[in-house]
Amino acid sequence: MLAMVIKRYGAAKDVLHAEHIAKPSAKVDEVLVRLKATSVNPIEYKMRAGYGRKVFTKKRGFEFPVILGNDVCGVVEAVGKKVLDFQVGDEIFAAPEVNGQGSYSEYRVIKSIYCVKKPDTLSFVDAASIPYVAMTAWACLVTRAKLRPGHCAGKKVLVHGGSGGIGSFAIQLLKAWGAHVTTTCSTKKIERARALGADCVIDYQQEDISHMTSDFDVVLDTVGGANEQKSLHLLKKHSNAHYVSLVIPVLSAIDNSGLLKGAIGSAITLMRKKRACKKNGIHYHWGMFKSNKDALKAVKDLLDKHEIKPVVDKTFPLDQLAEAHNYAESGNVFGKVAIEIH
Ligand SMILES: NC(=O)c1ccc[n+]([C@@H]2O[C@H](COP(=O)([O-])OP(=O)(O)OC[C@H]3O[C@@H](n4cnc5c(N)ncnc54)[C@H](OP(=O)(O)O)[C@@H]3O)[C@@H](O)[C@H]2O)c1
Protein backbone atom coordinates (compact mmCIF):
# COMPACT_ATOMS: atom_id res chain seq x y z
CA MET A 1 0.00 0.00 0.00
CA LEU A 2 2.71 2.43 1.01
CA ALA A 3 4.69 1.54 -2.09
CA MET A 4 1.65 2.49 -4.17
CA VAL A 5 1.33 5.80 -2.39
CA ILE A 6 4.99 6.59 -3.01
CA LYS A 7 4.75 5.52 -6.64
CA ARG A 8 1.91 7.96 -7.14
CA TYR A 9 3.54 10.81 -5.29
CA GLY A 10 7.12 10.08 -6.31
CA ALA A 11 6.45 11.63 -9.67
CA ALA A 12 4.82 14.72 -8.22
CA LYS A 13 6.65 17.98 -8.67
CA ASP A 14 5.80 19.30 -5.24
CA VAL A 15 7.91 18.41 -2.25
CA LEU A 16 6.54 15.31 -0.59
CA HIS A 17 6.64 15.36 3.21
CA ALA A 18 6.78 12.12 5.19
CA GLU A 19 4.01 13.26 7.51
CA HIS A 20 1.61 13.11 4.57
CA ILE A 21 2.34 9.43 4.00
CA ALA A 22 0.65 6.48 5.71
CA LYS A 23 2.94 4.27 7.83
CA PRO A 24 4.18 1.08 6.15
CA SER A 25 1.86 -1.90 6.19
CA ALA A 26 2.66 -4.60 8.76
CA LYS A 27 2.76 -7.12 5.94
CA VAL A 28 5.66 -5.65 4.10
CA ASP A 29 9.37 -5.94 4.65
CA GLU A 30 9.99 -2.39 3.42
CA VAL A 31 11.53 0.80 4.67
CA LEU A 32 10.63 4.32 3.70
CA VAL A 33 13.85 6.20 3.02
CA ARG A 34 14.16 9.97 3.02
CA LEU A 35 16.78 10.27 0.31
CA LYS A 36 19.78 12.49 0.96
CA ALA A 37 21.80 11.56 -2.12
CA THR A 38 21.94 9.34 -5.17
CA SER A 39 24.26 9.15 -8.18
CA VAL A 40 24.28 8.95 -11.98
CA ASN A 41 25.15 5.63 -13.63
CA PRO A 42 25.26 5.15 -17.43
CA ILE A 43 22.23 2.86 -17.23
CA GLU A 44 20.14 5.87 -16.16
CA TYR A 45 20.96 8.15 -19.09
CA LYS A 46 20.68 5.15 -21.40
CA MET A 47 17.22 4.35 -19.95
CA ARG A 48 16.26 8.00 -20.36
CA ALA A 49 16.87 7.48 -24.09
CA GLY A 50 14.72 4.33 -24.13
CA TYR A 51 17.33 1.62 -23.51
CA GLY A 52 15.93 -1.52 -21.88
CA ARG A 53 12.36 -0.22 -22.10
CA LYS A 54 10.80 -3.65 -22.65
CA VAL A 55 12.53 -5.41 -19.77
CA PHE A 56 12.34 -2.51 -17.32
CA THR A 57 8.69 -1.77 -18.04
CA LYS A 58 7.93 -5.41 -17.25
CA LYS A 59 10.00 -5.33 -14.06
CA ARG A 60 8.46 -2.04 -12.89
CA GLY A 61 4.96 -3.10 -13.74
CA PHE A 62 4.07 0.23 -15.38
CA GLU A 63 5.30 2.41 -18.22
CA PHE A 64 5.16 6.11 -17.31
CA PRO A 65 5.94 8.28 -15.47
CA VAL A 66 9.32 6.72 -14.73
CA ILE A 67 11.60 8.01 -12.00
CA LEU A 68 15.15 6.89 -12.76
CA GLY A 69 17.95 6.37 -10.27
CA ASN A 70 19.51 3.22 -8.81
CA ASP A 71 21.63 4.31 -5.86
CA VAL A 72 19.83 4.97 -2.60
CA CYS A 73 21.39 6.84 0.30
CA GLY A 74 19.41 8.41 3.08
CA VAL A 75 17.68 8.13 6.43
CA VAL A 76 15.05 5.55 7.35
CA GLU A 77 11.83 7.45 7.96
CA ALA A 78 9.46 4.55 8.64
CA VAL A 79 9.69 0.75 8.81
CA GLY A 80 7.29 -2.12 8.17
CA LYS A 81 6.49 -4.41 11.09
CA LYS A 82 8.52 -7.27 9.63
CA VAL A 83 11.65 -5.17 9.46
CA LEU A 84 13.86 -6.17 12.37
CA ASP A 85 17.30 -4.89 11.46
CA PHE A 86 16.52 -1.22 10.81
CA GLN A 87 14.82 1.51 12.75
CA VAL A 88 13.69 5.05 12.17
CA GLY A 89 16.72 7.36 11.95
CA ASP A 90 19.17 4.76 10.61
CA GLU A 91 21.38 6.00 7.79
CA ILE A 92 21.46 3.44 4.98
CA PHE A 93 22.77 2.92 1.47
CA ALA A 94 21.56 0.46 -1.16
CA ALA A 95 21.01 -0.30 -4.83
CA PRO A 96 17.84 -2.40 -5.07
CA GLU A 97 16.80 -4.48 -8.04
CA VAL A 98 14.67 -2.45 -10.47
CA ASN A 99 11.13 -2.59 -9.17
CA GLY A 100 8.84 0.43 -9.07
CA GLN A 101 10.26 3.93 -9.09
CA GLY A 102 13.89 4.99 -8.68
CA SER A 103 15.93 7.33 -6.52
CA TYR A 104 15.76 10.66 -8.32
CA SER A 105 13.21 11.70 -5.73
CA GLU A 106 12.92 12.77 -2.13
CA TYR A 107 11.47 9.52 -0.80
CA ARG A 108 11.70 5.92 -1.87
CA VAL A 109 10.25 2.71 -0.46
CA ILE A 110 12.55 -0.31 -0.74
CA LYS A 111 12.73 -3.79 0.72
CA SER A 112 14.97 -3.84 3.78
CA ILE A 113 16.87 -6.86 2.39
CA TYR A 114 18.62 -4.43 0.05
CA CYS A 115 19.74 -2.00 2.78
CA VAL A 116 23.05 -1.77 4.58
CA LYS A 117 23.98 0.82 7.22
CA LYS A 118 25.89 3.68 5.62
CA PRO A 119 29.57 3.96 6.69
CA ASP A 120 29.66 6.58 9.50
CA THR A 121 32.77 8.23 8.12
CA LEU A 122 31.24 8.96 4.71
CA SER A 123 28.96 11.81 3.69
CA PHE A 124 25.63 10.88 2.08
CA VAL A 125 26.96 12.08 -1.27
CA ASP A 126 30.12 9.95 -1.10
CA ALA A 127 28.21 6.88 0.11
CA ALA A 128 25.64 7.27 -2.68
CA SER A 129 28.38 6.85 -5.29
CA ILE A 130 29.12 3.30 -4.18
CA PRO A 131 26.29 0.68 -4.14
CA TYR A 132 25.48 0.23 -7.85
CA VAL A 133 29.11 0.15 -9.05
CA ALA A 134 30.19 -1.95 -6.07
CA MET A 135 27.60 -4.66 -6.59
CA THR A 136 28.19 -4.67 -10.36
CA ALA A 137 31.95 -5.07 -9.85
CA TRP A 138 31.29 -7.80 -7.27
CA ALA A 139 28.98 -9.66 -9.64
CA CYS A 140 31.72 -9.61 -12.31
CA LEU A 141 34.78 -10.31 -10.20
CA VAL A 142 33.43 -12.69 -7.58
CA THR A 143 30.31 -14.30 -9.04
CA ARG A 144 31.62 -14.59 -12.60
CA ALA A 145 35.43 -14.52 -12.44
CA LYS A 146 35.46 -16.55 -9.19
CA LEU A 147 37.95 -14.28 -7.44
CA ARG A 148 37.98 -14.87 -3.69
CA PRO A 149 37.30 -11.69 -1.67
CA GLY A 150 40.41 -10.81 0.30
CA HIS A 151 42.51 -13.53 -1.35
CA CYS A 152 43.69 -12.25 -4.73
CA ALA A 153 47.45 -12.20 -4.14
CA GLY A 154 49.17 -13.56 -7.24
CA LYS A 155 46.21 -12.74 -9.51
CA LYS A 156 46.80 -10.39 -12.43
CA VAL A 157 43.69 -8.45 -13.38
CA LEU A 158 43.13 -6.03 -16.26
CA VAL A 159 40.38 -3.48 -15.60
CA HIS A 160 39.35 -1.47 -18.65
CA GLY A 161 38.03 2.05 -18.10
CA GLY A 162 39.80 2.66 -14.78
CA SER A 163 38.66 6.28 -14.86
CA GLY A 164 34.97 5.33 -14.94
CA GLY A 165 32.51 4.57 -12.17
CA ILE A 166 32.99 0.79 -12.29
CA GLY A 167 36.72 0.92 -13.06
CA SER A 168 37.64 3.39 -10.32
CA PHE A 169 35.84 1.20 -7.80
CA ALA A 170 37.13 -2.14 -9.15
CA ILE A 171 40.77 -1.01 -9.05
CA GLN A 172 40.48 -0.18 -5.36
CA LEU A 173 38.57 -3.34 -4.49
CA LEU A 174 41.13 -5.55 -6.25
CA LYS A 175 44.06 -3.76 -4.65
CA ALA A 176 42.43 -4.14 -1.22
CA TRP A 177 42.21 -7.87 -1.97
CA GLY A 178 45.89 -8.12 -2.97
CA ALA A 179 45.62 -8.44 -6.77
CA HIS A 180 48.05 -6.96 -9.29
CA VAL A 181 45.95 -4.46 -11.27
CA THR A 182 46.52 -3.04 -14.73
CA THR A 183 44.04 -0.50 -16.03
CA THR A 184 43.33 1.51 -19.19
CA CYS A 185 42.11 5.10 -19.50
CA SER A 186 42.57 8.25 -21.58
CA THR A 187 45.68 10.44 -21.46
CA LYS A 188 44.24 13.20 -19.28
CA LYS A 189 43.13 10.75 -16.55
CA ILE A 190 46.30 8.67 -16.22
CA GLU A 191 47.59 10.25 -13.01
CA ARG A 192 44.26 9.97 -11.22
CA ALA A 193 43.95 6.29 -12.20
CA ARG A 194 47.43 5.68 -10.83
CA ALA A 195 46.50 7.43 -7.59
CA LEU A 196 43.75 4.82 -7.09
CA GLY A 197 46.50 2.24 -6.63
CA ALA A 198 46.68 0.61 -10.08
CA ASP A 199 50.07 -1.06 -10.57
CA CYS A 200 50.14 -0.30 -14.27
CA VAL A 201 48.13 2.30 -16.19
CA ILE A 202 47.84 2.08 -19.97
CA ASP A 203 46.90 5.15 -21.98
CA TYR A 204 44.57 3.64 -24.58
CA GLN A 205 44.87 6.77 -26.73
CA GLN A 206 48.65 6.29 -27.07
CA GLU A 207 49.21 2.54 -26.71
CA ASP A 208 47.66 -0.50 -28.33
CA ILE A 209 46.96 -3.13 -25.68
CA SER A 210 47.52 -5.92 -28.23
CA HIS A 211 51.26 -5.68 -27.57
CA MET A 212 50.91 -6.49 -23.88
CA THR A 213 51.98 -9.86 -22.46
CA SER A 214 49.29 -12.51 -22.34
CA ASP A 215 49.47 -13.31 -18.65
CA PHE A 216 46.23 -12.01 -17.15
CA ASP A 217 44.01 -14.17 -14.96
CA VAL A 218 40.99 -11.89 -15.31
CA VAL A 219 39.87 -9.09 -17.63
CA LEU A 220 36.98 -6.86 -16.57
CA ASP A 221 35.85 -5.14 -19.76
CA THR A 222 33.77 -1.99 -19.29
CA VAL A 223 34.35 -0.86 -22.87
CA GLY A 224 33.53 -3.78 -25.21
CA GLY A 225 33.63 -3.50 -29.01
CA ALA A 226 37.10 -4.04 -30.46
CA ASN A 227 38.42 -4.27 -26.92
CA GLU A 228 36.87 -7.70 -26.52
CA GLN A 229 39.02 -9.64 -29.02
CA LYS A 230 42.17 -7.79 -27.98
CA SER A 231 41.47 -8.54 -24.31
CA LEU A 232 40.78 -12.23 -24.92
CA HIS A 233 44.30 -12.54 -26.34
CA LEU A 234 45.75 -11.11 -23.14
CA LEU A 235 44.42 -13.89 -20.92
CA LYS A 236 46.49 -16.93 -19.92
CA LYS A 237 45.32 -19.90 -21.96
CA HIS A 238 44.22 -23.13 -20.27
CA SER A 239 44.81 -21.61 -16.83
CA ASN A 240 41.31 -20.98 -15.58
CA ALA A 241 41.32 -17.36 -16.78
CA HIS A 242 38.10 -15.34 -17.02
CA TYR A 243 36.93 -12.58 -19.35
CA VAL A 244 33.90 -10.61 -18.10
CA SER A 245 32.23 -7.97 -20.24
CA LEU A 246 29.80 -5.38 -18.93
CA VAL A 247 28.91 -4.22 -22.41
CA ILE A 248 26.30 -6.78 -23.31
CA PRO A 249 23.63 -6.82 -26.03
CA VAL A 250 20.72 -8.44 -24.16
CA LEU A 251 18.53 -5.41 -23.42
CA SER A 252 19.04 -3.78 -26.84
CA ALA A 253 18.26 -7.10 -28.55
CA ILE A 254 15.01 -7.36 -26.58
CA ASP A 255 14.17 -3.70 -27.34
CA ASN A 256 14.70 -4.35 -31.04
CA SER A 257 13.36 -7.88 -31.50
CA GLY A 258 11.00 -8.49 -28.59
CA LEU A 259 11.41 -10.52 -25.42
CA LEU A 260 11.53 -14.02 -26.88
CA LYS A 261 13.54 -13.37 -30.05
CA GLY A 262 15.88 -10.93 -28.30
CA ALA A 263 16.53 -13.25 -25.34
CA ILE A 264 17.05 -16.33 -27.52
CA GLY A 265 19.32 -14.42 -29.96
CA SER A 266 21.43 -13.15 -27.06
CA ALA A 267 21.63 -16.62 -25.48
CA ILE A 268 22.89 -18.04 -28.79
CA THR A 269 25.48 -15.26 -29.13
CA LEU A 270 26.68 -15.90 -25.58
CA MET A 271 26.86 -19.65 -26.14
CA ARG A 272 28.93 -19.20 -29.31
CA LYS A 273 31.36 -16.84 -27.58
CA LYS A 274 31.70 -19.19 -24.59
CA ARG A 275 32.36 -22.13 -26.90
CA ALA A 276 35.00 -20.24 -28.92
CA CYS A 277 36.81 -19.22 -25.73
CA LYS A 278 36.60 -22.70 -24.24
CA LYS A 279 38.89 -23.97 -27.02
CA ASN A 280 41.62 -21.82 -25.48
CA GLY A 281 40.67 -22.78 -21.94
CA ILE A 282 39.21 -19.32 -21.20
CA HIS A 283 35.93 -18.70 -19.41
CA TYR A 284 33.80 -16.08 -21.19
CA HIS A 285 31.04 -14.20 -19.30
CA TRP A 286 28.61 -11.34 -19.54
CA GLY A 287 28.50 -9.44 -16.26
CA MET A 288 25.39 -7.82 -14.85
CA PHE A 289 24.45 -5.71 -11.86
CA LYS A 290 22.94 -7.84 -9.10
CA SER A 291 21.84 -6.45 -5.78
CA ASN A 292 23.76 -8.32 -3.06
CA LYS A 293 23.52 -7.29 0.58
CA ASP A 294 26.49 -9.44 1.72
CA ALA A 295 28.67 -7.88 -0.96
CA LEU A 296 27.64 -4.36 0.10
CA LYS A 297 28.36 -5.22 3.75
CA ALA A 298 31.86 -6.40 2.79
CA VAL A 299 32.38 -3.19 0.81
CA LYS A 300 31.16 -1.13 3.77
CA ASP A 301 33.91 -2.73 5.90
CA LEU A 302 36.52 -1.70 3.33
CA LEU A 303 35.08 1.84 3.24
CA ASP A 304 35.15 1.96 7.05
CA LYS A 305 38.82 0.99 6.96
CA HIS A 306 39.49 3.58 4.20
CA GLU A 307 40.79 0.79 1.94
CA ILE A 308 38.32 2.05 -0.65
CA LYS A 309 37.57 5.74 -1.12
CA PRO A 310 34.57 7.09 -3.03
CA VAL A 311 35.51 8.89 -6.24
CA VAL A 312 32.99 11.66 -6.75
CA ASP A 313 33.94 14.01 -9.56
CA LYS A 314 31.08 16.50 -9.22
CA THR A 315 27.86 16.86 -7.22
CA PHE A 316 24.61 18.39 -8.52
CA PRO A 317 21.44 19.25 -6.61
CA LEU A 318 18.34 17.18 -7.47
CA ASP A 319 16.78 20.04 -9.41
CA GLN A 320 19.77 20.04 -11.80
CA LEU A 321 19.39 16.44 -12.92
CA ALA A 322 19.49 17.38 -16.60
CA GLU A 323 22.85 19.11 -16.11
CA ALA A 324 24.08 16.12 -14.08
CA HIS A 325 23.16 13.73 -16.91
CA ASN A 326 24.78 15.99 -19.50
CA TYR A 327 27.97 16.13 -17.46
CA ALA A 328 27.96 12.35 -16.88
CA GLU A 329 27.73 11.85 -20.64
CA SER A 330 30.43 14.43 -21.45
CA GLY A 331 33.43 12.10 -21.22
CA ASN A 332 35.08 14.48 -18.75
CA VAL A 333 34.10 12.64 -15.58
CA PHE A 334 36.58 10.78 -13.41
CA GLY A 335 34.67 8.33 -11.22
CA LYS A 336 31.09 9.24 -10.40
CA VAL A 337 28.62 12.10 -10.63
CA ALA A 338 26.56 12.47 -7.45
CA ILE A 339 23.16 14.04 -6.77
CA GLU A 340 22.50 15.77 -3.45
CA ILE A 341 18.91 15.81 -2.21
CA HIS A 342 17.71 18.20 0.49
N1 LIG B 1 25.57 -5.00 -17.58
C2 LIG B 1 25.37 -4.31 -16.48
O3 LIG B 1 24.57 -4.69 -15.59
C4 LIG B 1 26.14 -3.03 -16.29
C5 LIG B 1 26.22 -2.46 -15.01
C6 LIG B 1 26.98 -1.30 -14.87
C7 LIG B 1 27.62 -0.73 -15.96
N8 LIG B 1 27.47 -1.32 -17.17
C9 LIG B 1 28.11 -0.72 -18.36
O10 LIG B 1 29.52 -0.73 -18.16
C11 LIG B 1 30.10 0.38 -18.79
C12 LIG B 1 30.98 1.13 -17.80
O13 LIG B 1 30.19 1.65 -16.75
P14 LIG B 1 30.76 2.86 -15.88
O15 LIG B 1 29.75 3.15 -14.86
O16 LIG B 1 32.15 2.59 -15.45
O17 LIG B 1 30.78 4.00 -17.01
P18 LIG B 1 31.54 5.38 -17.00
O19 LIG B 1 31.63 5.90 -15.62
O20 LIG B 1 30.94 6.24 -18.04
O21 LIG B 1 33.04 5.02 -17.44
C22 LIG B 1 33.34 4.53 -18.68
C23 LIG B 1 34.85 4.70 -18.85
O24 LIG B 1 35.26 4.01 -20.04
C25 LIG B 1 36.46 4.64 -20.44
N26 LIG B 1 36.73 4.32 -21.83
C27 LIG B 1 36.06 4.72 -22.95
N28 LIG B 1 36.65 4.19 -24.05
C29 LIG B 1 37.69 3.44 -23.59
C30 LIG B 1 38.69 2.62 -24.21
N31 LIG B 1 38.73 2.44 -25.52
N32 LIG B 1 39.59 1.97 -23.42
C33 LIG B 1 39.56 2.12 -22.08
N34 LIG B 1 38.66 2.89 -21.43
C35 LIG B 1 37.75 3.53 -22.18
C36 LIG B 1 36.25 6.10 -20.19
O37 LIG B 1 37.51 6.54 -19.83
P38 LIG B 1 38.16 7.89 -20.40
O39 LIG B 1 37.20 8.99 -19.99
O40 LIG B 1 39.46 7.95 -19.69
O41 LIG B 1 38.23 7.76 -21.89
C42 LIG B 1 35.26 6.14 -19.01
O43 LIG B 1 35.87 6.60 -17.85
C44 LIG B 1 28.92 1.22 -19.35
O45 LIG B 1 28.76 0.92 -20.70
C46 LIG B 1 27.74 0.73 -18.55
O47 LIG B 1 26.52 0.88 -19.21
C48 LIG B 1 26.76 -2.45 -17.37
Q: Is residue 292 part of a domain?
A: no
Task: Looking at the structure, tell me whether residues 109 and 170 fall in a common domain.
Answer: no
Task: Looking at the structure, tell me whether residues 154 and 277 fall in a common domain.
Answer: yes
Domain extent for 184:
132-286
Q: How many domains is the chain partitioned into structurally?
A: 2
pLDDT in tens, the chain (342 residues): 334 333 433 333 333 444 444 444 434 899 999 999 999 999 999 999 999 999 999 998 888 999 999 999 999 999 999 999 999 999 999 999 988 899 999 999 999 999 999 999 999 999 999 999 999 999 999 999 999 999 999 999 999 999 999 999 999 999 999 999 999 999 999 999 999 999 999 999 999 999 889 899 999 999 999 999 999 999 999 999 999 999 999 999 999 999 999 999 999 999 999 999 999 999 999 999 999 999 999 999 999 999 999 999 999 999 999 999 999 999 999 999 999 998
Q: Nearest CA to 80 among 116, 33, 27?
A: 27
Q: How far is the CA of 334 from the centre of ligand 1 (A)?
A: 11
**If you take atom 36 of ligand 1, which residue's CA is the nearest one?**
161
Q: How far is the CA of 244 from the centre of ligand 1 (A)?
A: 13
CA distances from 200 to 52, 61, 121, 180, 327 (A): 35, 45, 30, 9, 28
Q: Is residue 219 part of a domain?
A: yes
| CB-defined site of ligand 1, < 6 Å | 41-43, 136, 160-161, 163-167, 184-186, 189, 204, 222-223, 227, 246-248, 287-289, 331
Task: Looking at the structure, tell me whether residues 226 and 136 fall in a common domain.
Answer: yes
Q: Is residue 298 part of a domain?
A: no
**If you take atom 43 of ligand 1, which residue's CA is the nearest one?**
164
Q: Is 89 exposed, middle or buried (0-12, 13-18, 19+ CB in 10 A)?
A: exposed
Task: Looking at the structure, tell me whether residues 125 and 155 fall in a common domain.
Answer: no
Q: Is residue 301 part of a domain?
A: no
- The best mutation among 222, 228, 327 to test binding of ligand 1, ranked by most ligand atoms within 8 Å of the C-beta, falls on 222
**Which is the closest atom of ligand 1 to the Cα of 184?**
33
Query: What pTM was estimated for this model as a whole?
Result: 0.93
Q: Is residue 92 part of a domain?
A: yes
Task: Looking at the structure, tell me whether residues 271 and 143 fall in a common domain.
Answer: yes
**If you take atom 1 of ligand 1, which residue's CA is the nearest one?**
288
CATH number of the domain at 319, please.
Answer: 3.90.180.10
Residue 218 near residue 148, CB atoms below 8 Å: no
**Which is the closest atom of ligand 1 to the Cα of 288?**
3
Q: Is residue 30 part of a domain?
A: yes
**If you take atom 41 of ligand 1, which residue's CA is the nearest one?**
186
Q: What is the pLDDT of residue 100?
A: 85
CATH number of the domain at 258, please.
Answer: 3.40.50.720
Q: How far is the CA of 223 from the centre of ligand 1 (A)?
A: 5
